[in-house]
Amino acid sequence: MRVRAVLTAVFLLAACTAAPPERVTLTWWDHLDHSPVADQAVEALIARYRAAHPHVEIERTAVPRAELEERLARGPRPDIAAVDVAALPRLAAASALTDLSGRFQGWDLPFVEPARDSVRSAGRYYGVPLRTDTPVLLYNRDLLAAGGVAGPPATWADLRVTAQSLTGAGRWGLCLAAGAGDDLTGTFLPFLWQAGGDVRDVTGAVDALSFVDSLLTGAHPDSLRWSSADATTAFTQGRCAMTVNGPRAVPALNAAGLDWGAAPLPAGPAGTASLVRGEAWVVGAGSPHADRAWEVLRWLAEQPDNATEFGAALQAVPNRSDTAADPGWQWDPNLGAFTTQLASARSPYTPRHPEVSAELSAMLRAVLHEGRPPADAAADAKPRLDPLLR
């Protein structure tokens, strides 16, 4: 008994005198200073983590979006960074990110599959999907009602008829981002998937190309030079009854005082589909504090209070099965449409996505801007795309 008592005393003394957690300073890069609201949200998240973990210091650096990927690829790298999910496969291929597969796969947080897929490249996990979004159909309730349309179109045929019927008297049924570049590719990809097509076989893209071309008869004529931001601006000005965009457009729509709604993109022959967009938080390759950085990423995802910043301030869509109906995530009455759409969203990103996007954009411009037959444009694009997708 005396030995047991002595041992107990020793263990208690050891517990009482255990060294506090080692202090560490983590570096953090992001491009989320583009608006005061987003910037303050990131600062609030970091401050809350510091308050709960006083032994961890986080030094944040705001890096211009156009520079972030190049700086990560070149190095030296931070412990933590927020990167566009479209850039994640390129950075992973450049060995710029820490492989988190072992940590991620042992983690039981129920991310929906499209969100989980957005941080996976070549079968490995490289980030945590903390700011996920996806485009949906946005519509002006007043303009639909004035045109005798009871609700948003649910099919391709409905979309084409509705867009044409609401065009007239200085207004247009639809605003699209059909100018050039990534915005044009982003407009097209959901239609490609809705048609049952795939980037890896653009000869199956003819139906989607033909349908997008037919939509322009009910679309604002400036759509052929518009970016996504341009189309949303025209929509907020009441010049168009419908447009396609993600949740980051919500503050502008509400500020404009529109009576607007959101719905999943109209279904094509293969159903509805959309694009996964957003940011993932990653750990820089070579970080001497990878385990501590992973703890921060887990806390960002798991802490319920963080919904305030990721939701209303950063316009993220709840991307887990256990948060879709969480009241803390219901930051806008129309959020349900985005959450529903996310279930059928896809990540088309590969290490060579910029080149793939450029070729898809060129194929689309040949049809939409130059009047080339869709079958010919798709056939021309195939030999240029195939090597990029191997």
On the question of pLDDT at 4 being above 60, the answer is no
Ranges of each domain in the chain: 23-133+277-346, 136-275+352-389
pLDDT tens digits, one per residue of 74-90: 999 999 999 999 999 99
pLDDT of residue 20: 65
CATH among 3.40.190.10, 3.20.20.140, 3.40.50.2020, 3.90.550.10 for 136-275+352-389: 3.40.190.10
pLDDT of residue 204: 77
CA distance 266 to 92: 34
- Residue written as token pair 């156009």: 66
Topology agreement, domain 23-133+277-346 and domain 136-275+352-389 = yes
- How is residue 222 written in tokens? 């400036």
pLDDT tens digits, one per residue of 247-256: 999 999 999 9
pLDDT tens digits, one per residue of 311-336: 999 999 999 999 998 998 999 999 99
- How is residue 340 written in tokens? 């529903």
Average pLDDT, integer, range 232-246: 96
**Mean pLDDT taken over the chain:** 93
CA distance 143 to 169: 12
Average pLDDT, integer, range 276-286: 97
Residues 6+ apart with CB under 8 A from 254: 332
57-95 residues labelled b (16+ CB within 10 A) or e (exposed): ebebeebeeeebbebbbeeebbbbbbbbbbbbbbbbebe
Contact 96, 73 (CB under 8 A): yes
Intra-chain end-to-end CA distance of the chain, in Å: 71
CA distance 30 to 69: 10
pTM: 0.92
Average pLDDT, integer, range 31-36: 91
Superfamily of domain 23-133+277-346: Periplasmic binding protein-like II (3.40.190.10)
Reported confidence tier of residue 200, pLDDT bands at 50, 70, 90: confident
Q: Provide the pairing of β-strand 136-140 with 120-121.
A: unpaired
